Amino acid sequence: MSKTALLFAGQGAQAVGMGKDLAEAFPLARQLFDRANATLGYDLAAICHDGPEPELTRTENAQPGIYLVSWIALALLRERVPSLSFDATAGLSLGEFTALAAAGALSFEEGLRVVRLRGRFMQEACEATRGGMAAIIGLDEAPTREICEATGATLANLNCPGQIVISGDTDAIARAVEAAKAKGARKAIPLSVAGAYHSPLMASAQPKLAAELARVALAAPSVPVIANVTALPHGNPADTARLLVEQVTSSVRWEASMRYLLAQGFTRFIELGPGSALSGFLRRIDKSVPVLNVSDVPTLEATVKALTD
């Protein structure tokens, strides 16, 4: 019997116009955009649909926007395929909150509210520090880790073979980029981001996030939800809160998370939310595994067809 995992997008997947065609085509999507606006007290839908891009890219808007569009993608897939069932969830960085909500560990509204505040806390940490990130393409984890240890950078995202993102102080990132090129990286590219996500420079966001999570009624998830920090399923709600706080400054172990699911016999993956980066990562990890995604009307229709044929 096949086992299905749902995957949820992380920051960087945002794009002006995300969710707009879904809202135009489906009343349920419009209802969820309206619910989100009412929950947050501002027009997040308009920022997702029409930008402007600098406003959408702000961490405090990008994170709840991606969470919302990912949730809408799941809701529409469930509406179109009532028999849809899944056996685990996982999400990249902020997507871990969407994965937990999909598994019933917290409500849609609670997740949206916390993700919005998480984005604000991380934006504040970015503005208080001089940080950046860079993508290292074509080097494995071991040499990239050596570069980080030598330069003061941090491993931020271990996405898939040959694609790692590093984070840290601006000067450390500049040193690491040069060292990676010298070590034979195919590419070492500074990223256009607000700060040093998943590094110690985000530490000021952690106590604020912990305080907000203490106000959330976390429950045990209905299916395993893979934690970014451990690449293993979440345990009890107290552990979940701790891991979500720890995740802010820790490496996102995405490749290890996917390999864990593959080792558990998962044979179908559905990416939900803007973009298709996670599908690309998974194909780099194991190109034999079928990956579906829902980000707009055409991909929704294609995924519905694949699941119902």
CA distance 20 to 47: 10
Is 234 known to be catalytic?
no
- Closest alpha carbon to 167 in 136, 142, 143: 136
Catalytic residue chosen out of the listed positions 198, 234, 250, 279: 198
Picking from 115, 100, 85, 101, the residue whose alpha carbon sits closest to that of residue 5 is 85
Phi, psi of 156 (to 5 degrees): -100, -50
Task: Report the distance separating Cα 75 and Cα 162, nearest Å.
Answer: 34
Q: Which of 70, 93, 257, 279 is catalytic?
A: 93
User: What tokens were used for 188?
Assistant: 């070492």
Q: What is the 3-state secondary structure (H, E, C) of 118-178?
A: HHHHHHHHHHCCCEEEEEEECCCHHHHHHHHHHHCCEEEEEEECCEEEEEEEHHHHHHHHH
198 is catalytic: yes
Catalytic residues: 93, 198
